[in-house]
Amino acid sequence: MAIYHSVTELIGRTPIIQLHKLDTGLCSLFLKLENQNPGGSIKDRVALSMINEAERKGLLAPGGTIIEATAGNTGLGLALIAAQKGYTLVLVVPDKMSREKIFHLRALGAQVVLTRSDVNKGHPAYYQDYAQRLAQEIPGSFYIDQFNNEANPLAHSTSTAPELFEQLDGKIDAIVVGVGSGGTLGGLQAWFAQHSPQTEFVLADPAGSVLADQVESGRHQDAGSWLVEGIGEDFIPPLARIEGVHQAYRVTDREAFTTARDLLKTEGILAGSSSGTLLAAALRYCQAQTTPKRVVTFACDSGNKYLSKMFNDDWMRQQGLISRPQTGDLSDYIA
């Protein structure tokens, strides 16, 4: 067993597990465990890639300041790496984000600037506009801007894609992905177009997001809302290469959460809500196949941060997603 010298060396090279307890029809279904990255998500790869590229291009120098607008997994990945490399990290976060997330980011050493959640793009307090302005004002700072940063998909075309191909012996019929920034989908497609063009891309989209409409009809209406975190959008992210997607599935919050809970109970994997969406779509895709196929999807992030939400029966009941206690705990029966 190797000895590592920095937590950043632990990013990537994640294991793959074949799922045997869920109904995968005629297909072999594999799950790449991105929840095992040190920051807990697939976004560690992207955070490392965006920082390395900025250094390489001379946009970020020792002692510099990194700025991004997010309270999500990208923020956690950036915080992990910024601390290792000695950068100051400023994250602009809408004030509706959970205290837990903000405490976690601050514990990693990030400076969290809270801004208004009730304003839209174009307003100076909108979190992305605010971050962009800070980057102009703070000397030596670099705005990460993951939605428009080519080093985001690059992380997947240089690491995630070749890892998948090697781990699955070059035999992959379909990859099921979700889209947040579009980096995963865009980066994987770029690599597979070159090395395995017959591999199909299947989109797993939260019901209410506009991306599935875009895949099916090339246009979309206004977005609805959903509770799944990290995927689904109300616009088409430019990095996603959405036109390359073969098929899309719309997954409700109920189906996503139930599937993530089943994944933990049956296969012992604690993954987040977007993973529930991806797995639900992958299972539907597998069950619809009439010939055996090899299909892979992702556990995008760890389920720890959802313990008080989708893994909590009280929360699920409050959201109207389950109707009676599911745990069998004695406490459920005490009035």
**Residues acting as catalytic residues:** 43
Residues pairing with 177 in the sheet: 203
Cβ contact 45:74 at 8 Å:
no
The DSSP string of 194-257 is: HH-TT-EEEEEEEBTBSHHHHHHHS----------SS---SS--GGG-GGG--EEEEE-HHHHH
Q: Is 72 in the site for ligand PMP (CB under 6 A)?
A: yes
Q: Please report, as residue ranges, which positions from 217 to 276 form the binding site for ligand PMP (by CB under 6 A).
A: 229-231, 272, 274
Please pick, from the candidates 24, 184, 199, 297, the single residue that binds ligand PMP as defined by CB under 6 A: 184
Q: How far is CA 303 from the centre of its chain?
A: 12
Q: How far is the CB of 288 from ligand PMP (least distance, A)?
A: 23
Closest distance of CB 8 from ligand PMP, Å: 19
Note whether 142 and 67 are within 8 A (CB).
yes
Is 43 a binder of ligand PMP (CB under 6 A)? yes
What is the per-residue DSSP string for 142-189? EE--GGG-THHHHHIIIIIHHHHHHHTTT--SEEEE--SSSHHHHHHH
Q: Could you tell me the smallest distance in angstroms from the CB atom of residue 121 to ligand PMP?
A: 18
Report how far residue 283's alpha carbon sits from residue 270's, in angstroms, rounded to the nearest whole number: 18
String marking each residue 124-163 x if it binds ligand PMP according to CB under 6 A: ----------------------------------------
Nearer to ligand PMP, 73 or 199 (CB): 73
- Which one, 147 or 285, has the nearer CB to ligand PMP? 147
Nearer to ligand PMP, 162 or 170 (CB): 162
Write out the residues near ligand PMP by the rule CB under 6 A: 41, 43, 72-73, 178-184, 229-231, 272, 274, 300-301
